[in-house]
Structure 1
Amino acid sequence: MARNAYHSGVRVGNWYENRLREEELKMSMERCRTAERHFQGLSAALLEEGEVSVCPDGLLHFGDSVIVHAPVVTPRRGQVTEYASNFHSFPSPAGTSRPSIPCTLAVTPNRQALIKNSYIDSPITASPDHHKPVIKNVFTIVPRDSHTPTSSILCYGDPFDLVHVTSGGERLYVTSPVGSALHSSRMSRRQEVLLQEGSSAHSAWRLVPSQPELRLTLQDQPAEVGARVWLVQTMTNQPLVVEEEFVTNTIFGTEHEVSVGMVTRATTKAASTLALLTWTRDETQTRRRREEEEEEEERRRRDEEEEEDLKRQRMKELEEEEERRRRRLHRINAIMTTAHAEINQ
Structure 2
Amino acid sequence: MAGYRPAVLVGRWGEEAQLQEERVRDFMRRRERGELLIQKIKSLQESLLQKTELSVCKDGCVHFGDTVLLLNPAPAEPGPGACGSLALAVPLEDSSAYSAAPLRAPCGVSAVQGVDPVGRNTFHVLSVDGTAVDEPIRFGQKFGLGTTGGFSAQMFYLASDHKSFLRFATKSHLQQVFLTEERSYLTCWKAAFWDPQLRLEHEGFPVPANSKIIITHCHTNRSLAVPRNFWTRSYFGKEYEVVCHTYLDSHKAEEDKNCWEIVTGDPSNRDGSMCDRPDPQPGGVRKELCEEA
Give the aligned partner of residue 269 of structure 2. Answer: 287
Amino acid corresponding to residue 65 of structure 2 in structure 1: G
User: Which stretches of structure 1, 4 residues or longer, exceed 3 Å deviation after superposition?
Assistant: 6-12, 14-34, 94-100, 112-115
Shift of 1:40: 1.6
Alignment of 1:40-119 (within 5 A): 40-45=41-46, 46-72=48-74, 93-94=76-77, 96=79, 99=82, 101-108=84-91, 109-111=94-96, 115-119=100-104
**Aligned partner of 2:210 among 201, 217, 226:** 226
**Kept in 1: contact 2:126–2:144 (CA 8 A):** yes
* Distance change in 2, residues 1:275/1:95 (3 Å): closer
* Distance change in 2, residues 1:23/1:178 (3 Å): farther
Q: Is 1:185 matched with 2:183?
A: no
In the aligned structure 2, how far is the partner of 1:218 from the partner of 1:10?
86
Which has more helix, going by share of residues?
1
Give secondary structure in 2 for the equivalent of 1:180: coil
**Kept in 1: contact 2:37–2:97 (CA 8 A):** no
Give the aligned partner of residue 105 of structure 2. Answer: 120
| Cα-to-partner distance string for 1:308-336 (whole Å, 9 max, x where unaligned) | xxxxxxxxxxxxxxxxxxxxxxxxxxxxx
In the aligned structure 1, how far is the partner of 2:167 from the partner of 2:15?
49
| Cα-to-partner distance string for 1:220-252 (whole Å, 9 max, x where unaligned) | 111100121111100000011113111111233
Amino acid corresponding to residue 176 of structure 2 in structure 1: E
**Kept in 2: contact 1:120–1:197 (CA 8 A):** yes
Shift of 1:102: 0.6
Shift of 1:169: 4.5
Give the aligned partner of residue 165 of structure 1. Answer: 148
**Aligned partner of 2:258 among 272, 293, 300:** 272
Give secondary structure in 2 for the equivalent of 1:52: coil
**Kept in 1: contact 2:222–2:246 (CA 8 A):** yes
* Distance change in 2, residues 1:238/1:49 (3 Å): same
Shift of 1:194: 2.0
**Kept in 2: contact 1:72–1:273 (CA 8 A):** no
* Distance change in 2, residues 1:29/1:270 (3 Å): farther
Give secondary structure in 1 for the equivalent of 2:59: coil
Give the aligned partner of residue 342 of structure 1. Answer: none
**Aligned partner of 1:237 among 221, 230, 255:** 221
**Kept in 2: contact 1:173–1:199 (CA 8 A):** yes
What is the TM-score of this pair, normalised by structure 1? 0.66
Gaps in structure 1 of 5+ consecutive residues: 1-5, 74-92, 291-345
Which structure carries more relative contact order (alpha carbon 8 Å, separation 6+)?
2
Give the aligned partner of residue 187 of structure 2. Answer: 203
What is the TM-score of this pair, normalised by structure 2? 0.76
Equivalent pairs, count? 256
**Aligned partner of 1:21 among 19, 22, 30:** 19
**Aligned partner of 2:235 among 251, 254, 279:** 251
Aligned-pair Cα RMSD in Å: 3.0
* Distance change in 2, residues 1:72/1:95 (3 Å): closer
Amino acid corresponding to residue 287 of structure 1 in structure 2: N
* Distance change in 2, residues 1:16/1:178 (3 Å): farther
Q: State percent identity of aligned pairs.
A: 24
**Kept in 2: contact 1:184–1:190 (CA 8 A):** yes
Q: Highest CA radius of gyration, 1 or 2? A: 1
**Kept in 2: contact 1:55–1:278 (CA 8 A):** yes
**Kept in 1: contact 2:191–2:215 (CA 8 A):** yes
Shift of 1:48: 1.7
| Cα-to-partner distance string for 1:243-284 (whole Å, 9 max, x where unaligned) | 31111112332121111122258xxx98110000113xxx31
Shift of 1:171: 1.3
**Kept in 2: contact 1:155–1:222 (CA 8 A):** yes
Shift of 1:20: 3.4
Shift of 1:68: 0.3
